[in-house]
Amino acid sequence: MNIDISKFNQSRLLVVGDIMVDEYLWGKVDRISPEAPVQIVSVEDEVFTLGGAGNVANNIVSLGANVSVAGIIGTDRCGNVLLKKFKALGVDTEGIIQIPGRPTTRKTRVIANNQQVLRIDRETKQDISDATMELLVKYIDAKMPLVEAVLISDYSKGLLTEKFIKKIISSAKKHNKITIADPKGLSFSKYSGISLLTPNKKEASLVSGVDIIDRSSLLKAGTKILNTVDIDNLLITCGKEGMVLFERNKEPYIINSKARQVFDVSGAGDTVAAVFGLAIASGASFADSAVIANAAAGIVVGKLGTATVSQKELSFALKPYPDDIIFKHKNLSELPVLIQELRKNGKRIVLTNGCFDILHTGHIMLFSASKQFGDILIVAIDDDDSVKKLKGKGRPVLSANERVKILSALDSVDYVVVFSSDKLNELINIIRPDVLTKGSNYSSKGVVGHETIEQFGGKTVIVPITEKISSSIIIDNIRHS
């Protein structure tokens, strides 16, 4: 496989589908209602994210490509929230029609004490009018020559009628464009003529009538769908088991997933469609595009909520021998979102900082002990210029990039961030750790940043280090020997 992910920047895709708002209400539960045997959730935060076709578009933008979106929303508050979010991303919204009286599809998830306790759906599934469809078709016909592929995101909300889908596919074929559909429903016949259909295993089982219990039944179901539905290619996604690509006159292509902890499968199908479309637009084969999409799905299920994947993450995941360094190393700009997610999941955060130029037993003891004070250990390392100022000529021995790789290999370390030593208080204000740790060669009052952390209720802990060892001692010993 030879695909340059940077080529995604030159692509433009068209997304047609059900646009929705994913609303998350985060709170705490500490009592039961006296009115009924239900939990009382004290809401502490409210977050709106792009869902459905909106999440497909968000994935495309996060990978550096351009995207136009066609669909319908209401004139309500959520409709305006969607438009504002799209415009902030630079998405072309000319194809989004606001219909008075039609509610914008909203899925509200109530999450308390780190668990989802309720989901509320506000929507209508009424089919769009012929007049609305014709307006959308007119827009799609005008955009078709300007895009490389069309993604159809169907959530059965009344937009993608069989009649409308046929018109989309007809327009795409007229301009020789690839069409990819993430389907919904118990019949795939309305997607006749599509270039690629991407159902999940459950959907494939229901439509084919084959109970998928193993690889053999999976291949049987996929072959049956390909033989009975007028589609060019079929990609069945199987979650942690990977996916299987069925192409006409070819053997099924099985793609296994790398074992990874799964936090949230929300929106994984959106990511698959977006990445597959971008790979195809960049000149990859269907088989290679499936491999890339599978890698992307493996990344997003390791994140919370309807997440996206970056070019950096995807490029790293596609390396012959990938590891978790890319997921542990965080830039300063990535920290606010990370910290917000960790806090919402009730994680206690520990921060320790230093040069860590040459790793030794004292450092290992510090990290191991620090992790005992919380759930997440963030190690902040001084950048190369800072180390040089602090330690003098010839330092650091190892560059920041090398130090990040070494620290990321430690199980006790959850995240690594590089910073300038004069920005420590700023870093502490971003992370707002529950605990700041240092080795016993410091006193608690001599730790830089202790006043800042104590201002918002955190504390400084001095970890006893019995070994009399330091990077400077090791380096001096090497020089003298």
Tell me the mean pLDDT in the region 455-470. Answer: 80
Task: Using pLDDT thresholds of 50, 70 and 90, give the confidence band for residue 305.
Answer: low
Res 146 pLDDT > 80: yes
Domain 332-480 has CATH 3.40.50.620: yes
Nearest residue to 380 via CA among 340, 428, 412: 428
Residues of the chain with CATH 3.40.1190.20: 5-322
Handedness of CA 470, 472, 476, 479 (dihedral sign): positive
Task: Using pLDDT thresholds of 50, 70 and 90, give the confidence band for residue 261.
Answer: low
pLDDT at 331: 85
Q: E strand or H helix at 461, and its extent?
A: strand 459-463
Q: Range with the lowest mean pLDDT among 143-147, 236-240, 318-322?
A: 318-322
Looking at every residue in the chain, the average pLDDT score rounds to 89
Alpha carbon distances (Å) from 362 to 145, 222, 368, 378, 474: 62, 56, 10, 17, 12
Tell me the mean pLDDT in the region 299-321. Answer: 74
Neighbours of 439 (CB within 10 A): 20
Q: E strand or H helix at 293, and its extent?
A: helix 286-300
pLDDT at 323: 58
pLDDT at 42: 92
Is residue 270 annotated as a catalytic residue, yes or no?
yes
Task: Using pLDDT thresholds of 50, 70 and 90, give the confidence band for residue 133.
Answer: very high
Task: Using pLDDT thresholds of 50, 70 and 90, give the confidence band for residue 418.
Answer: very high
Pairing verdict, β 19-32 and 39-52: antiparallel
Q: Range with the lowest mean pLDDT among 138-152, 170-184, 262-276, 376-390?
A: 262-276
Tell me the mean pLDDT in the region 105-110. Answer: 94
Pairing verdict, β 115-122 and 66-74: unpaired
**Residues listed for the chain:** 481
The contacts of residue 339 (CB under 8 Å, 6+ apart) are 349, 430, 431, 432
% of the chain residues with pLDDT over 90: 62
Handedness of CA 28, 33, 37, 38 (dihedral sign): negative
Backbone angles phi, psi at 375, to 5 degrees: -100, -35
pLDDT in tens, 35-88: 999 999 999 888 899 999 999 999 999 999 999 999 999 999 999 999 999 999
pLDDT at 258: 65
Cβ(194)–Cβ(232) below 8 Å: yes
Task: Write out the E strands in 238-393.
Answer: 243-247, 253-255, 349-354, 376-382
pLDDT at 219: 96
**351 SS3 class:** strand
HSE-up of 317 (CA within 13 Å, CB side)?
Answer: 23
Residue 456, burial from CB neighbour count under 10 angstroms (0-12, 13-18, 19+): exposed
pLDDT at 445: 62
Tokens read off for 371: 């992790």
- The position carrying tokens 């902040």 is 380
Tokens read off for 35: 């009115």
What CATH superfamily classification does 5-322 receive?
Answer: Ribokinase (3.40.1190.20)
pLDDT at 444: 55
Q: In terms of pLDDT, which residue wins out, 74 or 391?
A: 74
The contacts of residue 427 (CB under 8 Å, 6+ apart) are 332, 353, 380, 417, 419
Res 175 pLDDT > 80: yes
HSE-up of 226 (CA within 13 Å, CB side)?
Answer: 23
Handedness of CA 52, 296, 276, 334 (dihedral sign): positive
pLDDT in tens, 13-39: 999 999 999 998 988 888 999 999 999
Q: Range with the lowest mean pLDDT among 34-38, 296-300, 407-411?
A: 296-300
Rounded Cα distance between 469 and 476, Å, is: 11
Catalytic residue among 270, 357, 414, 434: 270
Q: In terms of pLDDT, which residue wins out, 471 or 23?
A: 23
Res 477 pLDDT > 80: no
Task: Write out the E strands in 183-282.
Answer: 196-197, 233-237, 243-247, 253-255
Residues of the chain with CATH 3.40.50.620: 332-480
**254 SS3 class:** strand
Task: Using pLDDT thresholds of 50, 70 and 90, give the confidence band for residue 345.
Answer: confident
Task: Using pLDDT thresholds of 50, 70 and 90, give the confidence band for residue 142.
Answer: very high
